[in-house]
Chain A
Amino acid sequence: MFCIRGCGRRVAASLTKQHLASVRFGGDSAAPWTPHFDVVVIGGGHAGTEAAAAAARCGSRTLLLTHRVDTIGQMSCNPSFGGIGKGHLMREVDALDGLCSRICDQSGIHYKVLNRRKGPAVWGLRAQIDRKLYKQNMQKEILNTPRLTIQEGAVEDLILTEPEPEHTGKYRVSGVVLADGSTIYAESVVLTTGTFLRGMIVIGLEMHPAGRLGDQPSIGLAQTLEKLGFVVGRLKTGTPPRIAKESVNFSILNKQTPDNPSIPFSFINQTVWIKPEDQLPCYLTHTNPRVDEIVLENLHLNCHVKETTRGPRYCPSIESKVLRFPNRVHQVWLEPEGMDSDLIYPQGLSVTLPAELQEKMITCIRGLENAKMVQPGYGVQYDYMDPRQISPSLETHLVQRLFFAGQINGTTGYEEAAAQGVIAGINASLRVRHKPPFVISRTEGYIGVLIDDLTTLGTNEPYRMFTSRAEFRLSLRPDNADSRLTFRGYKEAGCVSQQRYERASWMKSSLEEGISMLKSIEFLSTKWKTLIPESSISSGKSLPLRALDVLKYEEVDMELLARAVPEPLKKYTQCRELAERLKIEATRNKGSSAR
């Protein structure tokens, strides 16, 4: 998955304007002539927005510095959020009152839970997202966040002072220098520069700096970090070409329809903004031997694939798929980019061949025979900081009060970035207030797994979340992220709103009450069988059975149970989430079992 912030044409466009006068938005507290903030966040991508919003929620006067306000919330790669493992991260970000899950509930155009048949611990909440809507909704949210100021500007350098003796670290950051020479003082600084540090775009044999005219600031920052002694590594990734929607022959392809009902990402939403019947479908097609031929015949025109920069072990590009798994057919998902977008995103077709060969390759795929390529796919190579140089709070060991989050730490994916952003924002704020850091352990959440893996093992490929990374997978479920994190976030970090806290408390007490209610209802199995004839309860032996044990049967849910025993169970079916969670908890409940 490719997730560079602002590359390709958009970068070129954005960076030519980077010297435009600083414009301030919002800003209810900081006057322009006294630029001193508690927390300054550099970068307006998925990590930066979450970090800035989290710091502001925690009560810090926060400044978000970005090249262009109108690229805040840009989804620069795939038009989707979530999936297996990634959906888990989103639920945890939401449990800490982060933004991306709520924005996705307002911007999705195809909601689908993956792995429905494999057990609730590995359900993967996922949605196709309308890029335009996401950006609009994210900007609306960010620009209306209290205590958060947004400013356009490119950071050139860090202001460093003597370290605090009671903490480790050689320096302490106390502000940033902008490209126009102005300075902004800060108690904490969060760096979320994405792939911007010495980013290079690669198409075929052409390579050029991602920021062309405007990359001065990022090179300056990269040099500063290197001079300070940070160990820097290099990674590569890529993105597929975009295809004109009207040129695709969907009628001969497999259609995938969204779930009905749609399951929202956020704990505070009962529904999503759009009805299932108004959502857009996805389509599935496959590569064929002709695609392999084109890739193999033209390897000499493909310096991204040949280069030694470490790519991931998994297969992000069609070239690596063909090279490592020859003579196979590979899936290509055709995904909509938005409600009124005329673009299709061919997931699985990330490629760095010269543009004309990309077009040739596309047209030999079924359903794409007449497809028009609107924008070629390309590769990106960029610097990242070895994440073993940061602590679990995401503060660097070397520079006190400097935090790294997102792709700068070697991760890939919107969700991985957002998860780090929330943690960095919270800790940047706690640090200013001399409070202990907010650290999530591997036993508490996927966020803990992510950060622990990064900070202890480092990474030499873009790090992506999988459920197989989590040792405690059975208890780190998407459905219970609120009970794992919301209370801690409320009490220890102060990043959780009262409304969310109350919702989580209500859910917790309802679950406890529901479980004890289910334990208290007991009939003979023969009676249960007559009450719920659909169930596979054996009526051979007449044994007393609790409602909780009946709920363990695969085919029994709260709806069926409440129809059999309306009083007092009916009230537990009024909230879909509560009913579903009771079912999951019952299955996980040890003790006298139904079998």
Chain B
Amino acid sequence: MWRGLWTLVSRAARGPHSPRPCTRQGSRYPGPGSGATIFALSSGQGRCGIAVIRTSGPASGHALRSLTAPRDLPPARKACLRLLSDPRSGEPLDRALVLWFPGPQSFTGEDCTEFHVHGGPAVVSGVLQALGSVPGLRPAEAGEFTRRAFAHGKLSLTEVEGLADLIHAETEAQRRQALRQLDGELGDLCRGWAETLTKALAHVEAYIDFSEDDNLEEGVLDQADSEVRKLEVALGVHLRDARRGQRLRSGAHVVVAGPPNAGKSSLVNLLSRKPVSIVSPEPGTTRDVLETPVDLAGFPALLSDTAGLREGVGPVEQEGVRRAQKRLEQADLILAVLDATDLASPASCNFLDTVVIPAGAGNPSGNSQRLLLVLNKSDLLPAGCSDPHPDLPSHLLLSCLTGEGLDGLLEALKKELAALCGDPSTGPLLTRSRHQHHLQGCLDALGQYKQARDLALAAEALRVARGHLSRLTGGGGTEEILDIIFRDFCVGK
């Protein structure tokens, strides 16, 4: 559903005249789509204790009075108990808490009401039908409340996205991140960049439009150049971090790999608490890559079970091995599983040499893959032997059968995943590939700026860069540029 919401928001952002701000019209003309008063069930569908129905628009007060007749409007922003009845038949519907939020101090900026009714389907549909019978009211389209809030300047584009994330946060960490974004932390960061960029662009534009018959100060272009360079550095640093936020949304890719019959599928089933993979004592049971989304220590992860890595098998299993190797290359985190009782076998040694050791050593480009080495079947080891393999890289002992060592593994997973996804409470993260796309687009355009010899082309590159940022922050019209030009320079005749 957030996709639909997002489409609406982005459509609102683009709008028919989105390149220019509408601040001057803002006070006089209502925002897009307003005029009508909308209503919707705001809590989840289905049976629940309390259901919340909201309205937004100029007829909200009228609607509230119609349903609670003949009572007056309750005091603003105070919950009051009222008997709701159908305005046509006078038939009582429910005894409910109602709230009255006169605009502009409301979620959408318009007059809003909330009806907290009992959650039975009959009550909810009765109230919705009663609202539909009030003149001037119509059911809201998906995301329309948020869209109106955005249109009235109550939410920035990033905040709207943050809200969408909040509604659909699947895990605790995502919820925290969405909450932070609702406060506009990422928005603040982007706004700061947009401000710098707008100023640099305004100075270049001023140089184009006024340098020949008005006198601009010396060094206008040099200053713009240095601002652009600084911005490039800041964006570059941020973008190198950016993939972490993306991982959080879709989940980190955790790939379970190892030689055949080490217990990979058992581990997957243990972590996902459900029988995802068929487990059998026969080597080569898993032949394809099996994926399952799981919540690992509060982080969303995509857990992949792979075919055991070995050579000299039939064509189907060989394809499985090929897929497993491909998946290993894409993994954010490898859970390498070995049979603790079978470490000397050629398959285990080969796996240690080709997968575990290289990953542990890291590679010069810095793209080292994270890897946790798990020695399974610890229950089969002789009792009292705490660490039988001191010469192996750091590893964890686990018994999928008894569950021994699982807590230690989860703790280690949490540490690795937190590092991968970033801790949402320590800073704004890019939750959407869209953000990354626009920031990268901005950075690319700034690169074009430096190369352009024709000043009009250079300015165009800055315009493109600013366009990308304003997709994240809103705004970005030419009037902002002119404001800066006339504030910073004495031009005009």
Chain A nearest CB from B436 CB (Å) reads: 25
Per-residue CB proximity of A72-91 to B under 8 Å, as 1/0?
00000010000111000000
Bound Cα distance from A328 to B215, whole angstroms: 10
Bound Cα distance from A587 to B456, whole angstroms: 13
Give which listed residue, A458, A468, A587, contacts B481 with CB less than 8 A.
A468
Beta-carbon contacts under 8 Å, B459-493 to A:
459-460, 463, 478-479, 481-483, 485-487, 490-493
Q: Is the CB of B208 within 8 A of A457?
A: no
Tell me whether A277 is interfacial, beta carbon within 8 Å. no
Tell me whether B11 is interfacial, beta carbon within 8 Å. no
Contacts of A348 in B (CB 8 A): 214, 493
Per-residue CB proximity of B182-218 to A under 8 Å, as 1/0?
0000000000000000000000011011101111000
Per-residue CB proximity of B1-42 to A under 8 Å, as 1/0?
000000000000000010110101100000000000000000
Chain B nearest CB from A548 CB (Å) reads: 17
Contacts of A85 in B (CB 8 A): 209
Contacts of B482 in A (CB 8 A): 313, 466, 468-469
The chain A residue with its CB closest to the CB of B204 is A468
Give which listed residue, B208, B460, B483, B491, contacts A315 with CB less than 8 A.
B491
Tell me whether B83 is interfacial, beta carbon within 8 Å. no
Bound Cα distance from A586 to B77, whole angstroms: 65
Bound Cα distance from A331 to B214, whole angstroms: 7
Stretch at the interface among A111-119, A242-250, A513-521: A111-119
Chain A nearest CB from B22 CB (Å) reads: 8
Contacts of A33 in B (CB 8 A): none
Give which listed residue, A114, A328, A474, contacts B212 with CB less than 8 A.
A114
Contacts of A316 in B (CB 8 A): 492-493
Q: Is the CB of A474 within 8 A of B460?
A: yes
Q: Is the CB of A118 within 8 A of B19?
A: no
Tell me whether B455 is interfacial, beta carbon within 8 Å. yes
Tell me whether B457 is interfacial, beta carbon within 8 Å. yes
* Given known A122-B208, A330-B215, contact A457–B24 (CB-CB < 8 A): yes
Q: Is the CB of B208 within 8 A of A118?
A: yes
Beta-carbon contacts under 8 Å, A213-239 to B:
none
Contacts of B206 in A (CB 8 A): 468
Give which listed residue, A122, A124, A457, contacts B455 with CB less than 8 A.
A122
Per-residue CB proximity of A296-340 to B under 8 Å, as 1/0?
000000000000000011111000010011001111010000000
Q: Is the CB of B209 within 8 A of A468?
A: yes
For the residues of B in contact with A, the DSSP-based class is helix
For the residues of A in contact with B, the DSSP-based class is loop
Q: Is the CB of A1 within 8 A of B25?
A: no
Bound Cα distance from A287 to B151, whole angstroms: 47
Chain B nearest CB from A384 CB (Å) reads: 15
Tell me whether B454 is interfacial, beta carbon within 8 Å. yes
The chain B residue with its CB closest to the CB of A2 is B493
Total interface residues in chain A, CB < 8 Å: 45
Give which listed residue, A119, A315, A468, contacts B478 with CB less than 8 A.
A468
Q: Is the CB of B490 within 8 A of A330?
A: yes
Q: Is the CB of B491 within 8 A of A314?
A: yes
Tell me whether A471 is interfacial, beta carbon within 8 Å. yes
Q: Is the CB of B492 within 8 A of A315?
A: yes
Total interface residues in chain B, CB < 8 Å: 35
Contacts of A457 in B (CB 8 A): 20, 22, 24-25, 479
Tell me whether B326 is interfacial, beta carbon within 8 Å. no
Q: Is the CB of A312 within 8 A of B492?
A: yes
Tell me whether B274 is interfacial, beta carbon within 8 Å. no
* Given known A316-B493, A458-B25, A473-B460, contact A467–B209 (CB-CB < 8 A): yes
Contacts of B459 in A (CB 8 A): 473
Tell me whether B88 is interfacial, beta carbon within 8 Å. no
The chain A residue with its CB closest to the CB of B489 is A325
Q: Is the CB of A119 within 8 A of B455?
A: yes
* Given known A1-B493, A325-B490, A457-B25, contact A471–B213 (CB-CB < 8 A): no
Beta-carbon contacts under 8 Å, A541-558 to B:
554
Beta-carbon contacts under 8 Å, A453-468 to B:
453, 456-458, 460, 464, 466-468
* Given known A84-B208, A316-B493, A328-B490, contact A471–B215 (CB-CB < 8 A): no
Beta-carbon contacts under 8 Å, A115-146 to B:
115, 117-122, 124
Q: Is the CB of B208 within 8 A of A313?
A: no
Contacts of A587 in B (CB 8 A): 454
Contacts of A325 in B (CB 8 A): 490
Tell me whether B453 is interfacial, beta carbon within 8 Å. yes
Contacts of A313 in B (CB 8 A): 482-483, 486-487
Contacts of B25 in A (CB 8 A): 457-458
Per-residue CB proximity of B47-90 to A under 8 Å, as 1/0?
00000000000000000000000000000000000000000000
* Given known A84-B208, A114-B212, contact A468–B485 (CB-CB < 8 A): yes
Q: Is the CB of B20 within 8 A of A83?
A: no
Bound Cα distance from A331 to B493, whole angstroms: 10
Bound Cα distance from A350 to B493, whole angstroms: 8
Chain B nearest CB from A317 CB (Å) reads: 9
Q: Is the CB of B456 within 8 A of A473?
A: yes
Per-residue CB proximity of A397-409 to B under 8 Å, as 1/0?
0000000000000
Per-residue CB proximity of A367-407 to B under 8 Å, as 1/0?
00000000000000000000000000000000000000000
* Given known A313-B483, A314-B486, A315-B491, contact A83–B456 (CB-CB < 8 A): no
Q: Is the CB of B457 within 8 A of A119?
A: yes
Q: Is the CB of A114 within 8 A of B213?
A: yes
The chain A residue with its CB closest to the CB of B486 is A313
Q: Is the CB of B493 within 8 A of A78?
A: yes
Bound Cα distance from A453 to B24, whole angstroms: 12
Bound Cα distance from A473 to B487, whole angstroms: 23
Bound Cα distance from A325 to B214, whole angstroms: 14
The chain A residue with its CB closest to the CB of B454 is A119
Chain B nearest CB from A529 CB (Å) reads: 21
* Given known A456-B17, A458-B25, A468-B481, contact A121–B456 (CB-CB < 8 A): yes
Q: Is the CB of A460 within 8 A of B212?
A: no
Tell me whether A347 is interfacial, beta carbon within 8 Å. yes
Point out residues on A near B: beta carbons under 8 Å.
1, 78, 83-85, 114-115, 117-122, 124, 312-316, 321, 324-325, 328-331, 333, 347-348, 350, 453, 456-458, 460, 464, 466-469, 471, 473-474, 554, 587
17 further A-B pairs in the complex, CB-CB below 8 A; given A119-B457, A456-B17? A118-B455, A121-B454, A122-B456, A313-B483, A313-B486, A315-B492, A316-B492, A453-B20, A457-B20, A458-B25, A464-B492, A467-B205, A467-B209, A468-B208, A471-B19, A471-B478, A474-B460
28 A-B pairs within 8 Å (CB atoms) are namely A84-B212, A115-B208, A118-B456, A120-B456, A121-B456, A122-B209, A313-B483, A313-B487, A314-B491, A315-B492, A324-B490, A331-B213, A453-B20, A456-B17, A457-B20, A457-B479, A458-B24, A466-B205, A468-B205, A468-B206, A468-B208, A468-B478, A468-B482, A471-B19, A471-B463, A473-B456, A473-B460, A554-B453
